[in-house]
Amino acid sequence: MNQKDSILIVEDEKNIASLIDKSLRQAGFRTIIAHDGERALQLARECEPAVVVLDLMLPKVNGWEVCKSLRKDSNVPILMLSAKEEEVDKLYSFSLGADDYVVKPFSPRELAERVKAIFRRTNCAYTCRKTKLSFGDLLLEPEKHKLTRNGKPIWLTPSEFVLLLTLMSAPGRVFSRHELLTKLYQSSDAVVARVVDVHIGKLRRKIEGAPANPRFILTVRGVGYRFAEKEEHRDS
Ligand code: CA
């Protein structure tokens, strides 16, 4: 079974699952439904969905565990659904590799819009940009969704990939947190700005030799981040 353009809905409350199912189908997606975490992991591997809509509170294996497990070998975009609206829960979800977060109760139509946005963003990041980007020992190949350092592959989540591509495409240009957030989410008010810091922290741990003393992604105090320019790189 191969349904590369389908959305995997993971939700134990059957009425909510069918509401999401209906709105995603209306938006033109094919859907697959799992009612618990174990089944979700199984279906994610069998069907290779384009996006996973993942509820947090699930029987057997909870959403965070599912997210962690998926992230071991998959870069499928993950949208978390949760009744928890605490900032710390959102940040924890993002630190596990989630790409978006929607708080319950939500409008099914808004959810479908968010899924569409994730779908477009990740597809475009991988295919709209043909040129390879290189900097020092880093090589980013957008079309292949591939990052290597010294020829060794580094695995990135879709959000980390979009952020790195944005920064690396314009070395030296300063991006505010808000600007980076809008690259990640259509409406940034739903997501806290510190999410950008969480993703940048993870990116640095993956690409920098010494994350506390970064060479590639530099902090611009009080504003945001920028990618290093060639000259600085040679000096360091
Ligand atoms: Ca639930």
33 C-alpha to center of ligand 1: Å?
13
Verify that 18 and 55 share a domain, yes or no: yes
More confident residue, 190 or 164: 164
119 C-alpha to center of ligand 1: Å?
23
Model confidence pLDDT, tens digit, residues 53-74: 999 999 989 999 999 999 988 8
DSSP type of residue 155: -
55 C-alpha to center of ligand 1: Å?
6
More confident residue, 79 or 187: 79
The pLDDT assigned to 185 comes to: 76
Model confidence pLDDT, tens digit, residues 24-63: 999 999 999 999 999 999 999 999 899 999 999 999 899 9
146 C-alpha to center of ligand 1: Å?
34
More confident residue, 81 or 74: 81
**Cα–Cα distance for residue pair 206/67, rounded to 1 Å:** 19
27 C-alpha to center of ligand 1: Å?
23
The CATH number that applies at residue 145 is 1.10.10.10
The pLDDT assigned to 3 comes to: 45
Q: Which residue do the tokens 């708080």 mark?
A: 103
Query: Is the pLDDT at 182 greater than 90, yes or no?
Result: no
19 C-alpha to center of ligand 1: Å?
14
The DSSP-derived string for 102-147 is EESS--HHHHHHHHHHHHHHHHHHHHT--S-EEETTEEEEGGGTEE
124 C-alpha to center of ligand 1: Å?
31
Q: Which residue do the tokens 């174990």 mark?
A: 38
The pLDDT assigned to 81 comes to: 95
17 C-alpha to center of ligand 1: Å?
10
Verify that 112 and 147 share a domain, yes or no: no
Verify that 160 and 51 share a domain, yes or no: no
With a pLDDT cut of 90, the percent of the chain lying above it is 64
- Residue 203 domain-assigned (yes or no): yes
49 C-alpha to center of ligand 1: Å?
20
Query: Is the pLDDT at 207 greater than 80, yes or no?
Result: yes
The CATH number that applies at residue 28 is 3.40.50.2300
12 C-alpha to center of ligand 1: Å?
5
- Residue 235 domain-assigned (yes or no): no
Query: Is the pLDDT at 144 greater than 90, yes or no?
Result: no
13 C-alpha to center of ligand 1: Å?
6
Residue ranges near ligand 1 (ion) with Cβ within 5 Å: 12, 55, 57
Which of 95, 124, 153 is at the close of a domain? 124
Q: Which domain holds residue 214?
A: 130-227
